[in-house]
Amino acid sequence: MELDLGAVRAFVAVADERHFGDAADRLGLTQQATSKRIAKLEAGLGTSLFHRARTGTELTDEGAAFLPDARALIALADQAVRSVRVRDRALRVDVAGTRLAPTELIRVFHEAHPGVKIDIVTSRGLREAQPALLGGAIDVTFARVAGELDPAIAHQPAYLEPHHMLAGRKHPLAGRRRVRMAELAESITWMPGNEPGSEWADYYTYLQREFALSIQTAGPHFGLDHMLDELAASRDRYTFGGERMRVPWHAGIVQVPVVGPTPLYPWSMLWHRRNRHPALPLLIEHIAEGVRPFDPASQWLPPGEPILAGTPQ
């Protein structure tokens, strides 16, 4: 049989929502129209895809078997449409956070190529960004490459960002022009934003082991402004910030470069290998030209960091 994409899309919506009415709302259809699409699909396949009950709708065994391929079919169809429309839309770039270094990298790119339309989005790291790349929701993301990537994702070094210490003026190291890594072991590194399983938490686990740091992650993360207020009142806590991180001015906070060695946060640029957005090659070239080399004599990266390969993967 020849599958009707509208019917397959309705099937996926009902499978997700577990309710015909909610699926109809998601599709912008009436519940009757949604039911008709499912009935047509079941007739063509010669099997029931759902168990219908008062409490909701559940997949049959046949429906559960069909669902992965149905999702793949819809994703492929959507990708085909996007490939035709791609030349007319903005380049969607995930910068992780608007205060972070990738935002500055994209701002400089935009100054060099003002005719390129750009949409800035943010995510909670590679766990969100990789599925968004695979599904075509974004064109580019910036993240530290940690763990296995889907083979469809390409990446290259983007920026090795030197660390700074952010601390209150009451901190014993606040008056220094530079702070050595060994000196930081005597204080508490306060990082409540280190989400377990994130690529940045993994990075700071390596840093903690290498330099015997006392990293404290407990407590809710109320944002950078709140952190700065708390650090300004502390004598024994500090946090790390990147060289190009946009830190809001605070009268009680100092920002001091870290040396001996300088830890670098390894930002990579990632994109889908099949992405054909016309601005993507321009961005890839621009980012590659700005990467500074790693100096192991004065700088530090976790052992075996993928970015050390230095070439697109």
pLDDT digits (tens, 9 = 90+) for 147-205: 889 999 999 999 999 999 999 999 999 999 999 999 999 999 999 989 888 999 999 99
Please give, one letter per residue, the 3-state secondary structure of the chain: CCCCHHHHHHHHHHHHHCCHHHHHHHHCCCHHHHHHHHHHHHHHHCCCCEEEECCEEEECHHHHHHHHHHHHHHHHHHHHHHHHHHHHCCEEEECCCCCCHHHHHHHHHHHHCCCCCEEEECCCCHHHHHHHHHHCCCCEEEECCCCCCCCCEEEEEEEEEEEEEEEECCCCCCCCCCEEHHHHCCCEEECCCCCCCCHHHHHHHHHHHHHCCEEECCCCCCCHHHHHHHHHCCCCEEEEEECCCCCCCCCCEEEEEEECCEEEEEEEEEEECCCCCCCHHHHHHHHHHCCCCCCCCCEECCCCCHHHHCCCC
What is the residue extent of each domain of the chain?
A: 5-86, 87-159+264-294, 162-263
- Structural class in CATH, domain 87-159+264-294: alpha beta
Alpha-carbon torsion 303, 305, 311, 313, what sign?
A: positive
One fold for both 5-86 and 87-159+264-294? no
Residue 86 one-letter amino acid: V
Cα–Cα dist 96/143, whole Å: 7
> What confidence score (pLDDT) does residue 79 get?
73
CATH of domain 5-86: 1.10.10.10
Does domain 162-263 bear CATH number 3.40.190.10? Answer: yes
CA angle at 124 for the pair 121 and 232, rounded to the nearest 5°: 100
Query: What is the mean pLDDT, run by run of 10 residues, along the chain of 313 residues?
Result: 88 90 89 92 91 83 92 84 68 95 97 95 92 94 92 96 97 96 95 91 96 92 92 96 95 97 97 95 96 94 79 56
Which residue type sits at 30?
T
Structure-block tokens of residue 236? 């024994």
pTM of the model: 0.72
Mean per-residue pLDDT over the chain, rounded = 91
Give the pLDDT score at 85: 58
pLDDT tens track for 218-249: 878 888 999 999 999 999 999 999 999 999 99
Give me the pLDDT at residue 175, please: 94
CA angle, residues 101, 104, 108, in degrees to nearest 5: 145
Q: Phi/psi at 117 (nearest 5 deg)? A: -80, 135
